[in-house]
Every structure is written in structure tokens, then in C-alpha cells.
Amino acid sequence: MTAHSPKTFLVCHGAWSAGWAWKKMHPLMQAAGHRLITPSYTGLGERAHLAHQGLDLDAHIQDMLNVISYEDLRDIVLVGHSYGGMVATGVADRVRERIAQMIYIDAFVPRDGQSLFDLNEVAIANMREAARNNDGWRIPPMPTPPDTSAADVEWLTARRVEMPIKCFEQKLKLKHGETILPRSYIYATRITPADTFGQFAKRTKDEAGWRYLEIDASHSPNVTAPQALMTLLQEIVA
């Protein structure tokens, strides 16, 4: 499987997760001749020891902006998974000249002034309650989808950590309005009853400027369907 031209994929990962969760995608990207960069946000993954009550969406956007700046990344394929869609949208707004295109994978797609909680009202009460019952400012991880293998559940459970609630509460401020960058949306069709991302599937199917695709997978195809995800990503960037 060879690509037409090597790309640099930069992943804005999901909540409770971190760069480590993209482990299965590295060999696939490498085999295809691409570079995959999967930084972890402050307070998550191998940076869990840096968690503090003030961490918010802006901090995670800044994490990614610093990677772009210090690694001098250009012509980036910016990937946002789940909560990472909030982060990626902010990143693209700040350094659009560095981004070639955006790919949202079963992700939140905020408009200016929206927080993740604005886009996920069904879950707010439960998440606030979970944070209250925990240490007041962190939400314990959500359960993994039922089709996740036992080995992967064990791998994920050992590594996922609590999520600072401010990351979900803070409203994204776009400095340049809605982006005109090429954007693709991958909707994972093995949905939960809540179908959190159905709203974005509907929107991106109908809205100009989007390419809409589906994957027969649950919410984290980087874990449960890496090969299928790789095929789709290749198709998008080809």
C-alpha cells in the first residue's frame, strides 16, 4: 500500500485518552509512507501527573500549537477524534496557513462560542454528577463500546484517566470565523443509543465544504478498526 505523496498527520486525540491510544495506527501509517504525530494533551496519558483544576480547552489547543511550532510542521492533515474535534477546530483557527486539510473522526464540530457541553446536552447532568462524586473537577472515563475486544478493554482501562471538566465547559472562541479549509467527516455507524455524533453526520452530509464518509466501527476506530480507518484516511488524502 503506497501513498501518492507522504503526508504528515497530526492527531488531536479524544477525552480520557492520549497519544498512546493511536498505537495501532503507527505501523499502518509508516507502511503507507506517512508520518503520524500523536501528542498527548497536558494532564492526560504520560502527562497525567500535570493535571490541575485550571486545565481547559484553550490549554489543549495550546499544547497542539506548540507541537506545530516547535516541530515546524506544515501542510498538516489535522485529525480530530471525539473531543479532539473541539481542539482541532481551535488549532486550525489559529494556524490555518499550516493546515492542508482537516479530518474529523466521530468528533464534535463546534461553531464559534460553543462548548462540548453545548453539543452534548444529554450527557451534561451525568458528567457533572460524576465529577462531583469524584474530586469535584474531573470526570471519570466513559465505558468503552461493547464491541471492543477484551484485550483492548484491558489496555485502555489501564491507561485512560479522568478528564478535567473545564475542557468540556469552556466555549471555543474562533478568531477567524468558520474555516474554509477542506474538511472531511468520518461517522462511525456502530452507534450508542445516545448517538452523540449523529448531529454532525447530518450536518456535514448537508453542509457545503464537507466530504462525508462512514466507517463500520464503534466510536474509536483507531482501536477497534485500524485497517478500515487507514483505508479511509488514505482515500481522503489521495
DSSP lists the bridge partners of residue 215 as: 188
pLDDT at 170: 98
Q: What is the pLDDT of residue 122?
A: 87
CB atoms within 10 A of CB 116: 23
Q: Which residues pair with 11 in a beta bridge?
A: 79
Condensed to tens digits (0 to 9), the pLDDT of residues 182-197 reads 999 999 999 999 999 9
Name the 3-class secondary structure at 43.
coil
Per-residue pLDDT at 147: 96
Check: CB of residue 26 under 8 Å from CB of residue 13: no
The H-assigned helical ranges of the chain are 25-31, 57-70, 84-94, 116-119, 121-133, 150-159, 166-169, 198-206, 221-224, 226-237
Domains and CATH numbers, the chain: 8-237 (3.40.50.1820)
The rounded mean pLDDT for the chain is 96
CA dihedral 10, 113, 93, 54 (to 10 degrees): -60
149 is catalytic: no
pLDDT bracket for residue 2 (50, 70, 90): very low
**Residue range 213-233, pLDDT digits in tens:** 999 999 999 999 999 999 999
What average pLDDT does the segment 54-81 reach?
A: 98
Per-residue pLDDT at 203: 97
Per annotation, catalytic residue among 82, 115, 218, 220: 82
- Tell me the pLDDT tens digit for each residue of 133-172: 999 999 999 999 999 999 999 999 999 999 999 999 999 9
State the residue for C-alpha cell 489535522. Answer: 78
Helix, strand, coil percentages, rounded to 5, for the chain: 40, 15, 40
Q: What is the pTM of this model?
A: 0.97
- Judge contact between 181 and 96, C-beta under 8 A: yes
